[in-house]
Structure formats: C-alpha cells, structure tokens
Amino acid sequence: MNWFDYNTQVVAAATALLGAAAGLAGCLLLLRRRALMGDALGHATLPGIAAAYLVSVAVGGTGKEPWVLLAGAAAGAIAGVLGVVLVRRGARVSDETAMAIVLGAFFGLGTALLTVIQASPGGHQAGLSSFILGHAASMVASDLRAASIVALVCVALVVLLTKELRLLCFDESFARVIGRPVRWLDATVLIIVTAVVIAGLQAVGLILILSLLILPATAARLCTDRFTVMLPLAAAFGAISGVGGTLVSSFAPRLPTGPCIVLVAATLFVLALLFAPKRGLFAQAAMGRAGGYRP
Amino acid sequence: MTSATARTPSDFGCEHSSSSPLSIHALTVAYDRRPVLWDVDLDVPAQSIVGVIGPNGAGKSTLLKACLGLIPIASGKVSVFGKPYEEQRARVGYVPQRESVDWDFPVSVLEVVMMGTFGQLGWFQMAGKLERAKAREALDAVGLADEENQQIGQLSGGQQQRVFLARALAQSAQIYLMDEPFSSVDAATEQAIIAVLRRMRSEGRTVIVVHHDLETARDYFDWVILLNTRVVAAGPTATTLTHEQLRKTYGGRLTLLDEAAQRMQKAQLG
Amino acid sequence: MNAWTLAVDGWIIAIGALGALACAVPGAFLVVRRTSMLADAVSHAVLPGIAVAFLLSGTRDPLWMFLGAAAAGLFVTLGSSALARIARIDSGAALGIVFTTMFALGLILIVQVADRVDLDPSCVLYGAIELAPLDSILLLGVEVPRAVLVLGGVTLLNAFVAVIFWKELTVMAFDPALARTLGCRPKLMESIILGMAAATCVAAFESVGSILIVAMMIIPAASARLWSDRLAGVIVGAMLIGILGALVGHWIATAVAPAIIPGGRDASSAGSIAATLGALLVASIVVAPRRGIVVRLVHRWLLTLRIAREDAIGLLWRLDEDQRTVAPAQLRDLLVRGAEIPNWLARMAIAHLVRDGRLECVENVARLTTQGRADGASLVRSHRLWEIYLMQRLAIAKDHVHPTAMVLEHITDAVMREQLAREGGIAADDHGTRADPHGRAVPEVPRTNGAN
C-alpha cells in the first residue's frame, strides 16, 4: 500500500470516521461503567454472521452480500444484549459475569458454526473469519459510505441528546425523577455502541473493537474534566488512531491495519496518562510536591 | 362489613385532604417481595420543614424513593397536591444521598446545578441563558457562587452536598424530598443548609428531610415523622418528638412483623 | 467422523472434562467475587506472551510457550489493577485497555514471525482440542496426551490450594468485610484467587483455547450457583456441569453437526462445548430448584390457588357469622367481585374445596363442613388478630387495617396466631369475647383434626 494510493485514502477515511464514532460511543460506555459491554457485543456478532450466511445460502443466495452479514451481526449483537439482561436476571449474577457468559457461549456457537461453514463448499471463500481479526485493507468505497453513515448517526444522536446522556451517566435516579425515560436512553446508548461495533467489524475485527471503544474515551477522560470537551476529544483521538494506524500499516509491509490502529490509540492513551494536565502522572507528581490536586 | 373480602370504596379513607403537598395513603413498599415499609399513612402539612427520623434500616430513604417512583410500590398510593405524582413531577424536587453518584464524573458545578432545570426543558433543547441564570442564582443561595467552574470532585463533602441542594433549588419545585442532606457535613455547612431550608419555607415551600441527629431535630423541624418499618408517630415536633415515642421508634423492631415480612418473601406473596 | 474412537474422542472428552475440573475452583470464586471478565482478559493476553517467548527462544518448545504465557497472564492481572489505580478509572475499563492492547501487539508480532514458524492466532482463540491427543507423552507405557497431564496437574494444584485455604476462601467469597475482621487477610486471598485463575487460563489456553476457557470458567460456576448456595456445592456442581458440557458438546460437534448441516464435516469441539455450556445455563435457569423459573411458576400457581381457596372459606365463614346463606353461583360471584379473583380460578377453588370435604353444596346452598368451619375460624381469627396488632402496634387507622390483614392472614400459622393473641393481650381462654377493631368477635378455633 502507498500513502498516495486511492485505496489507502479510502481506508484511512473510513477508519477515521469509525474511530470518531467509536470514541463517542466509548465515552458513553465508560461513563456508564459498562466498558466491557463492547467486548460482549463484539463477540456476540459472530454467531449472527454465521447464521446469516447459512440462511442466505439455504434460500439460494451467495451468502456474501455484505448487508446480509451485517444484518446478521446486528441480530447477534441485539441477542447478546438481551442475553446479558436475561442471564443477569435469571441467574442472579453481576453485570460482568453475565457479559462473560454471553461472550463465551455466543462466540463458542459462532466458532462452531464457522468451522462447519468453512468445510462446506464455497464456505472457505466467504471470508467470514476476517470479521474476527478484521481486514481493513480490503475496505472499499461502499465500506467508506457505511462508516460515514454510522459516524453521522452517532454524532447526530450524541449531539442532540448530550443533555440527556450526561444526566443519565451522572445521576440516573435524578433523570428518572424529572421524568426522563431512562430505559430508552440506555437503549439508545446500546444502539449507538452496536452500530459502531458492526461498522468496525471489517476494520479491526470483533475482538479489537473493544479497544477502539475504550482507549480514546479513557485518554480523553484523562485530559479533561468536562463531559462536553471529553466527547469531541475522544472522537478526535479515535479519528487520529484510524488515520495513524492506516498510515503506519501502509508504510511497513506485513503490518495488519487493525492492530496498528489499536496500538496508535494505545500510544495516545499512554501519552495522555503521562502528560495530561492535572490527571497525568507528571502533573500529579508536580502537584503532589506542591500539595495540590485532590482526587 | 358484611362481605368480608370486599374492599369497598369506603375502606379507603376520604378524610385525606387533597391540598396537602404530599399525601401518602396505605403505602407498603417491598424489596424482592419483602415488605420494608408497612401501611404508611401521612399528610404532610404545607409550608413546613418536616424531619423523617428513625434508626438505620427503618426505611427512611425507601419512603422517599417510593414517593418519587424510584422503587416500585407494593400497594397504596402517593399524591402530590391531590394528584398522582407522575402528573406533578415539576412540583417535586429531590436531593439524593451524596454517595449515590460518582463525584469523579467530568462535569462542573454549574453544569450539575443546571441539570435541575432540565425538567422544564424539552428533548433536544439546549440549556440557554435563562437556565444558566437560574443555576447561578441557586448557587449563590447556597454560597457556592465562586466555585461554578470547578469540577465537582474538587469540592469538599459539605460543598458537594450544597451543590445537590442548589440543583434542587434550580428545579423551582414546591415540595422537596431530601435524603440525608446533613450527613458528614461540618457545623458551618449545616447552618448554611438549614438557613436555605428556612428561606424555602418562608417562600411557601415544603421540605421533607431524612435526618439522623436527634439533638438538632427539635430545633430544625416543624413537624416530624418517626419511622421504623412503619410510622410510629407523625405530627408537630413539640408533641410528637417525645421520649416515649422515641423509645418506641428506636426500641427494637417488631418481631412478629419481621417474621411476617420474611414469610411473605419466602412465599413470594405480595 | 462417524464412530467415536476411544483413542481420539475419549481423550478429547477427557481433556474437556479435565479443563472443567481445573476451571471449577477459580471459576466459582470469580463468579461470586464478580470479577468474571478476568478470565477473558488473561486468555486473550497470552498471545503476545507466546509470540515474545518465540522471539526470545527461537523455538516452539512448550516450556518456553508456557513461560511466555504465564508472564503475560501475570502482566495483565497486575497491570490492569495498577492502571485502574494510577489512572483512576473503572477496573473493567482498565482490564479492557490492557488485554486488547496486548492482543493487538500479539497479532502484529505473530505476523512478523509468520514465515519462520506457524503460530496461528486462531489457535489461541479456539484452541486445538481436536489435535491435542496427537501431542502425547509415554507415561507408564501408555501414550498420554500432554494436555491431560498439564490440566490434571492444574486441577490437583487448584484443589490443593482450595483445601489449604478453604476456611479463608469461603469467608472471602461471600463476605470480604467479615474476612477482614476475622483477620483472613483478604488482599492475600484475593491475590491467591486471581493467581489461581490466571494460572489455569495460561495452562489451558493451548489445549482448549481462550474462548472455551472463559466459557468453562464462568458458565458452569454461574449455573451451579443456581443449584446450590454453598461454595462446596457450587464447585462440585460446576465440575459436573463442565464434564456434561464437554461430553454433549463434543458429541454435537462430531455427530450432530455433520448430520444436519450440509457439507458433512465436524464442527469445532471447543466452540460446541462453549455453546453447550451456555445451553446448560439456560436449562439451569429454567429448571433449577428454588430459583428456577419452572419451580417459581409452579410455586406461584399453588400459592394463587391456596389464597383463592382460603378467601372462599373466609368469605363463607363470615357470611355464616351473619346468618346468611348463598348459592354456589353467588359465592363465586362474590369472590370474583370482592377478592378480585378471576372467574375460572374461583370456580376451581370451589371445586377443590368440595373435593377436599371443606365445602358442600346442598339444595343449591354452599355451606362449610365441620372441617371447613374450623379452617374458616383459624383464618378469620388470624385476620382479626392481625387487625388488632396493626392498630395497636403500628397505629394504623381502623379503616386501613383490613387490606393488610387480608394479605397477612395467608402466611399465619397456629404458632404465629397464638403469639399474635398474646401480644394483643388476648388470653387463650377468652372464648371469643374479644372484639376486633370493627367490633366483631375474634373467633376461637374449634378443636378438630387437621385444623390449619
């Protein structure tokens, strides 16, 4: 790949938009203390994708139409969210345990279906396994369009609902007291996250999508004490990770794009951890000497 | 009663005045079907500061949360100025316990106080100049005007408590439910808060406060509700906060009632 | 594959079962201590560990791989808690940051060494349980797969740790605050639990894969929690459920999947076992005793029926007290309107009472039998005693006590009733002279056999 390459530009633009959307969605997950929900959602898409392929082949399709597979992924993610809610209630376990259960069982089902599909005629070329680890280099103009739509929807929802979402994340019971439908707001957050996870499957894969959700958001959190600053900052960090990761992987041969994006995001996080004003380690050390910052 | 099982309308008291700011009728609240509050009947007088007093685990916070619809009600009803609470949200303000939120959350003092005005704002509507002015006024009233740009985590415990009070003021409600606003605040903050509550009363509002300290209760409240899984007594402070009533409130729980609550949970009844 | 062979399928199931045994002890603790995602994190983080181990040693020697994985597991456990502390973020977020970053690093490293060695990332994810029987060691003249030895060793080690620290771990699992006051050193115990979980993940990833580890560690323990309230019960239950999952899962992968899905090849055993464990959890949620949905529904239905019956008896007894009689149809009507009981339920309750000899319908008049009157008297006695109690002790207004007493009467037995009578100041030989708040006598319970 080359930097001036049209393909690289497409991939960079798509991953930048995706990173921005993931940054926004990640802020909501992080502040709602549900960071790992992204992981459960990501893993839960796999059986959905595999089932969509099988259904599509069974009714005479090729099983390769992207919208079929993405619809399957969405169905899997929604089933995963419902699974977390039902397991938490039915088995009376914590949120985190319910997520681990859904993650393990759904991904297990997905891999079992995947092995069967890959053995079937035509299955190996379906390229379903690229959803697990991602395959950004193969992104084309239609993927860019999809990423732009997702990013646009995320930005629109978050901007329109900033007031409500901040209230929900900060003080849920106060939101209920003044009559806001907390359940629907929560559902909106999960819909935003699901959209990002599905759009991100091709770029970074269903395992690494978690890092794209929480790394920019956490880095932004370290840099600012304002919700309204944190959101655009996280989006910017996400976009920088997307572009940066794509460029790094295009300069060196044999560097997979998805992991590169994650490592750029991780680098930004480490920089924020070290140098952030007030919350950064250096600032804290300096203020510790001056006897300043109170956590 | 001729038909013993029939619950005729006359079973339900009609003597409750509809003008009371908060009127609670035969309210039973259960956690996981285990009743923690039995048959609460109350009519809170208007324009007064009311203390809710009782031992730990008596159901004081539960009473407030049930009134606000934050926890489901097993039976009974709550009305605000004679109408169901859901229709009267705008007239009810709430101060939750300080521990109920994450004070590390990235918002400024002013932003938290402005949340009090969101009840009057529609969806998608940004808070504007009017809301900002209202929030500043509320902050001024609790003496935190200089801290408006601080991140909330930078404040002391007493200041945080006052931020919640300011947010409630910004709600411009007529009746306020406050869950332990005096908990872990210093004496000066406590005086500042009670001064605000008195000003609210003089403006015709009613304030219901969950409170721990018996020493100050006589001084602070016009009216008290003594609570221990049921209302032991409720009425004007002078006649209600007696030694005898306090002994009943703090003198252990009713074993038979506890046993019944346990059985109801076990049977999944209620 | 059509027929199972002991040498292959037997070993695969044995490896799965041993994995379940090894995971049961740490899994039970992770579930009750609510740190389940650690299993996910550690099992993903081993990828860079083995890649670095290969880069350093230049071999695929299992010992080197194990050391690399162990170092990575240790790093993710300690690193995420340190990160949560210094960056002041949620522990879940810190865990997610550390393990996904390590996984990304691992993917890049593996691609770099790909032409020198076949390290497949998907191997770490799904494991290679199907191939594990091939990698065997001669032990006492028998070819034993290395995975069996490794997992067996981990199982013994976990069992050993659990036995030594049993008391501390039990207190720790359910009540860390109590553990501190008892001097159980909860920090140390927490580290032992996390260490045990991490070591098990590291030892098992090669044979069963990281996803199956998450499933095996968390799902059987969460299922067993529904069957037992005791830690030992949870651990043993988790072992049994895990073994069952390994058996059924492998059977589905090798016998069922090829038969029903076109193509006719085996599915991944690890994936099938994980999915089967999920299904077993759902089954547990449905059928477990006490907490299961079925039991709760049945219980609820029996309770509804009992209350309807008791309401019918109470109603008839009170009518009798007023010297009124009703026809069966009228009785049903009164129940439907007065006690808000649906028509069919009222009909059923009356039929049951007739069958049990509590109620008889003679010349179109419903009337209580001797037995029925005794039941009615106990019920009404409970009701009126509660009304007295509620008025005296709870200072509830006279016109409010009835609905609450209507509920309480159904959970009151003879012992509670007499305690109520004592607290209400009613002597046992009062003979129905005391009145309830509404001026009606508190009846005595006639002496019959089998009165409630």
B143 touches chain A (CB under 8 A): no
Q: Is the pLDDT of residue C218 over 90?
A: yes
Where does a domain end: C261, C288, C315?
A: C288
The residue-averaged pLDDT of C249-262 equals: 80
Tell me which chain A residues have a C-beta less than 8 angstroms from the C-beta of C31. 93, 97
CATH of the domain at C202: 1.10.3470.10
Q: Could you tell me if residue C18 is inside a domain?
A: yes
Q: What is the C-alpha separation between C73 and C194, in angstroms, rounded? A: 10
- Give a yes or no: residue C394 inside a domain: no
Task: Please state, in angstroms and rounded to a whole number, the distance separating the CA atoms of residues C407 and C201.
Answer: 52
CATH number at residue A198: 1.10.3470.10
Residues of chain A with C-beta less than 8 angstroms from the C-beta of B111: 166, 226-227
CB contact under 8 A, B111 and A166: yes
Q: Is residue A285 part of a domain?
A: no
Per the CB < 8 Å rule, is A210 touching C265? Answer: no
Which chain B residues touch C315 with a CB distance below 8 Å? 3-5
Q: Is B103 part of the contact surface with chain A (CB cutoff 8 Å)?
A: no
Kindly tell me if the per-residue pLDDT of A198 is higher than 70: yes
Token pair of C232, please?
Answer: 């030992």
Tell which of C257, C288, C319 closes a domain.
Answer: C288
Average pLDDT over residues C237-258: 90
How are the residues of chain A apportioned to helix, strand and coil, as percentages rounded to the nearest 5?
Answer: 80, 0, 20
* C327 domain residue, yes or no: yes
Q: How far is C257 from chain A (nearest CA, A)?
A: 8
Residue A249 has what DSSP assignment?
H
Smallest Cα distance from C39 to chain B, Å: 27
Q: Is residue A275 situated within a structural domain?
A: no
Residues of chain C positioned with their CB less than 8 A from the CB of A273: 86-87
Q: Mean of the per-residue pLDDT values for chain C?
A: 84
Average pLDDT of C396-410? Answer: 84
* Residue count (chain A): 295
Task: Report which listed range, A249-258, A279-288, C51-60, C236-245, is most confident.
Answer: C236-245
The lowest-confidence range among A282-291, B176-185, C225-234 is A282-291
A195: containing domain: 6-210
Touching chains, B (3+ CB pairs < 8 A): A, C
pLDDT for residue B8 is more than 50: no
Say whether C411 and B264 touch across the interface (CB within 8 A): yes
Tell me the whole-structure pTM to 2 decimals.
Answer: 0.86
Choose the final residue of a domain: C236, C253, C288.
C288
Residue with more model confidence, C393 or B164: B164
Q: C408, B260: Cβ pair inside 8 Å?
A: yes
Q: Are residues C40 and C77 in the same domain?
A: yes
Read off φ and ψ for residue C368, nearest 5 degrees. -75, 145
- Do C231 and C281 have their domain in common? yes
Assess A113–C contact: CB distance below 8 Å, yes or no: yes
Question: Who among B89, B100, B124 is closest to A179 (CB)?
Answer: B89
ipTM entry: 0.91
Give B6's pLDDT tier (boundaries 50, 70, 90): very low
Using the Cβ of B268 and the Cβ atoms of chain C, whether some distance falls under 8 Å is answered with yes
For chain A, give the percent of residues with pLDDT over 90: 56
Determine the residue of chain C that is closest to A57 in CA distance: C262
Percent of chain B with pLDDT over 90: 54
Domains held by chain A: number: 1
Same domain, C198 and C321: no
Q: Which residues of A touch C224 (CB under 8 A)?
A: none
Q: Which residues, including other chains, have CB under 8 Å from residue C356's CB and lie 6 or more apart?
A: none
Q: How far is CA A124 from CA A117, A128, C352, in A?
A: 7, 8, 64
Residue B26 to residue C300, Cβ atoms within 8 A = no
Cα radius of gyration (chain B): 20
For residue B167, the chain A residues in CB contact (below 8 A) are 174
Kindly report the CA angle at A21 between A19 and A25, in degrees rounded to 5? 115
Asked if residue C180 lies in contact with residue C186, where contact means CB atoms within 8 angstroms, the answer is yes
C280 and C321, same domain (yes or no): no
Note whether residue A98 is domain-resident: yes
Regarding whether C267 and C336 lie in a shared domain, the answer is no
Least confident of A104-118, B176-190, C435-449: C435-449
C301 in the same domain as C183: no
pLDDT of residue B16: 44
Question: What is d(CA A255, CA A244) in angstroms, rounded to the nearest whole number?
Answer: 13
User: By percentage, how much of chain A surpasses pLDDT 70?
Assistant: 95
Q: Are residues C64 and C81 in the same domain?
A: yes
For the segment C323-337, the average pLDDT, to the nearest whole number, is 88
Mean pLDDT (chain A, rounded): 88
Note whether B13 contacts C400, CB cutoff 8 Å: yes
Indicate whether C229 and C333 sit together in one domain: no
Summarize pLDDT for A28-70 with one digit per residue, the tens.
Answer: 999 998 888 999 999 999 999 999 998 888 887 777 777 888 8
Tens-place pLDDT, residues A87-102: 998 888 888 899 999 9
The first and second tokens of residue B17, run together, are: 């005045």
Q: How far is A177 from chain B (nearest CA, A)?
A: 6
Interface contact flag, C338 B267, Cβ < 8 Å: no
pLDDT at A2 over 90: no
Judge whether A94 is closer than 8 Å to chain B, CB to CB.
Answer: no
Residue C119: the pLDDT is: 65
C318 CA to chain B: closest CA distance, Å? Answer: 6
Is A230 inside a domain boundary? no
Chain B: closest CA distance from residue A246 (Å): 31
Chain B interface includes A251 (CB < 8 A): no
Higher-pLDDT residue of B253 and B233 is B233
Average pLDDT over residues B14-39: 79
Task: Kindly tell me if the per-residue pLDDT of C360 is higher than 70.
Answer: yes
C278 or C122: whose pLDDT is higher? Answer: C278
Share above pLDDT 70 across residues of chain C, in percent, rounded to a whole number: 89
Residue B161 has pLDDT above 90, yes or no: yes
Token pair in block for residue A292: 């300043």
Is the CB of residue C415 less than 8 Å away from at least one CB of chain B?
no
pLDDT given at position A1? 45
**3 state DSSP class of C370:** helix
Question: Exposed, middle or buried by CB within 10 Å (0-12, 13-18, 19+), for C7?
Answer: exposed
Q: From the CA of C304, how many Å to the nearest CA of chain A?
A: 22
pLDDT recorded at residue C248:
94
The per-residue pLDDT for C261 is 66
pLDDT tens-digit profile of C2-42? 456 667 788 888 888 999 999 999 999 888 876 788 888 88
Tell me, what's the pLDDT at C435?
Answer: 76
Partners of C417 on chain B (C-beta within 8 Å) are none
Q: Note whether C319 and C238 are same-domain residues.
A: no
Q: Write down the mean pLDDT value for chain B.
A: 87
Ordered by where they begin, the domains of chain B are: 20-263 (3.40.50.300)
The answer for residues whose C-beta is within 8 angstroms of residue B95's C-beta and 6 or more apart is: B164, B165, B167, B168, B176, B177, B178, B179, B181
Residues C254 and C305 in one domain: no
Does residue C437 lie in a domain region?
A: no
Residue C262 predicted with pLDDT over 50 = yes
Judging contacts by C-beta atoms under 8 Å, the chain A residues touching residue C93 are 30, 35-36, 214, 218
Residue C448 has pLDDT above 90, yes or no: no
Identify whether residues C112 and C46 lie together within a single domain: yes
- B64-109 pLDDT, tens digit per residue, is 999 999 999 988 889 999 899 888 899 999 999 998 999 999 999 9
Residue B5 touches partner C, C-beta closer than 8 Å: yes
**Total number of domains in chain C:** 2
Same domain, C331 and C226: no
Q: Note whether B265 contacts C: Cβ–Cβ < 8 A.
A: no
**Chain A contact present for B214, CB below 8 A:** no
pLDDT at C153 over 50: yes
Among the partner-chain residues B108, B123, B127, the one whose CB lies closest to the CB of A226 is B108
Between positions 260 and 279 of A, the ones with CB within 8 A of C are 260, 262-263, 266, 269, 273, 279
**Domain with C325 in it:** 296-368
pLDDT band at B33 (very low <50, low <70, confident <90, very high): confident
Q: Which DSSP string corresponds to chain B?
A: --STT---GGGS-S-S-TT-SEEEEEEEEEETTEEEEEEEEEEEPSS-EEEEE--TTSSHHHHHHHHTTSS--SEEEEEETTEEGGGGGGGEEEE--GGGS-TTSS-BHHHHHHGGGGGGS-TTPPP-HHHHHHHHHHHHHTT-GGGTTSBGGGS-HHHHHHHHHHHHHHT--SEEEES-TTTT--HHHHHHHHHHHHHHHHTT-EEEEEE--HHHHHHH-SEEEEESSSEEEEEEHHHHS-HHHHHHHHS---HHHHHHHHHHHHHT--
CATH number (domain holding residue C351): 1.10.10
Q: Could you give the CA distance from residue A91 to residue C281 in angstroms, rounded to a whole number?
A: 8
**Residue C302 confidence (pLDDT) above 80:** yes
